[in-house]
Structure 1
Amino acid sequence: LYHGGAFDMSCTVKVYFALKLAGDDPESPHMARARAAILERGGAASCNVFTRIALALFGQLPWRGVPYIPVEIVLLPRWFPFNIHRVSYWSRAVMVPLLILCTLKPRARNPRNVDIRELFTTPPEEERRYFRRPLGGSAALARAFFSLDRLARSLDGLIPRALREHALERAEAWMLERLNGEDGLGAIFPAMVNALEALSVRGYSPDHPHRRGAKRALEKLLVEDYSSAYCRPCVSTVWDTALAGLAMQEEGSAGARAAALRGLEWLEPRQLLDDPGDWRTRRPHLPG
């Protein structure tokens, strides 16, 4: 995403909804322009999974419009073909609190009952094509995924209540262990906002230290001046330094390599060396 770049369905839907929640007139020029662009490209039903989950939390589309991802996934052993250690830490930090939300299906507060039904070409409760095969994707693989999703969803009611609560407690414990103080879960906005919402759903009061810390972590991402405000996806100094260091090493000149070395010296004391450390789970013998 960048100014003047290509249209992004999911971003446009979220921005439209956020502006409408904030009180913008749907008939104002910028809202009408966004709405027309969304409808021309198939409507809000075709936005990505994370956006559809956010819309489901606000009751803007049914939960069948998002993939079935039960919290019991956190109980899958490491030898299982799919488990939470098979994905990157970034994905895992986003996914674990999201599993809590998608299992408990809370309803976000919306005191003015704002809706965005006008962004759907088919009423959201009647839409049957939330899951569409990606362009260039395998039709057979897509059918297999859709069939598995329907089967698993139909069996959800058979999951024992005790097993579900055990899985919720496991996911909650995983999240609490990694809340990371005021730097936030994973130090990235998607994981941090999911964690704050999951803490609320699990009954933590607004003044509980965990919930206060999770909120403070999000507030630290805000950048405000006299005329504008925006939320950073992360405090990117470490990330940017590592990427710049790689670029400098590839450039190869003496000055670039010296700059890369200074970056590495700055990074070294900032490593997370907690044992065992999630990053070591699948590569336990890496140095660092």
Structure 2
Amino acid sequence: MLSNRVALILTTAIAPALWGTTYLVTTELLPPDRPLLAGVVRALPAGLLLVAITRRLPRGIWWWRAFVLGALNIGAFFALLFVAAYRLPGGVAATVGALQPLLVAVLSTGLLGEKMTTRTTVAAFSGVAGVSLLVLRADARLDGWGIAAALGGAMVMATGVVLSKRWASPAPLLATTGWQLVAGGLLLLPTAWIVEGTLPASLTAANLAGYAYLTIIGSALAYALWFRGLRSLSPTNVTFLGLLSPVVATLLGWLVVDQRLTTAQVLGGLIVLAALITAQTRKKNNASTPPPLVPVERAGQRPCVAASR
């Protein structure tokens, strides 16, 4: 039988695996050149659905905390990802984004008191190397603003991941997830309107199916699993799972649209998987070491409780 921790890691990994399907759904089903619209549709309807199901609105300090987390994890991240995608080849943007586990590990040392281990550092750099072999091309062009946007996207989501752990919500998981999706979608809505204009004149059945998939599966389900993992696992462990996205995207390209898979890509995928396993594996002699204490709000007071790892 799987241990509770392994089971939680595996269910959390479903989220980035689902996000890895986004590229195929976008290219095959959605209208072209509307990435910000896709971001709004992914976030806002999914958030409103979860809020309607839970019937729970933020209270007190959580009005601004939900907005900050929604901006970092969704709104600002999607916008920066849009800029990076337009100014960089996809392989370059994905490789820069693979720095996120390292950024989370560094931020966790300051904000959560977690220790930056050699194992984590090696796994983080191995993950970047693996993703670069998987998706980077020798003729890839570089653009200063594109690189800055990709780095900014990795940084804002890394910050959002760590703050999601530090600011433990007293509300149910689905409610907190819904708040963030609504906040991120509302932040993206005017940006999408200014940059891309109004909705397409007509939407096909394939377009509607693609948007429905991104809303229900790619956002409502995926983000609920992601934030569930963050509630119980170290943010560093969780963010390493994000490296599964380019692996799944590459495999789907090979399986569905008959893209050629090179030896370098296979090697890169194996390196990424090795980095994931290394990051999730804990030394036996550390198993009895108590985890660091982080502040958690609960019922109006601020006791210290052990952070889950």
- TM tier, shorter chain? under 0.3
Higher helix proportion (structure 1 or 2): 2
**Which of the pair has more CA radius of gyration?**
1
Q: TM-score, normalised on structure 1?
A: 0.22
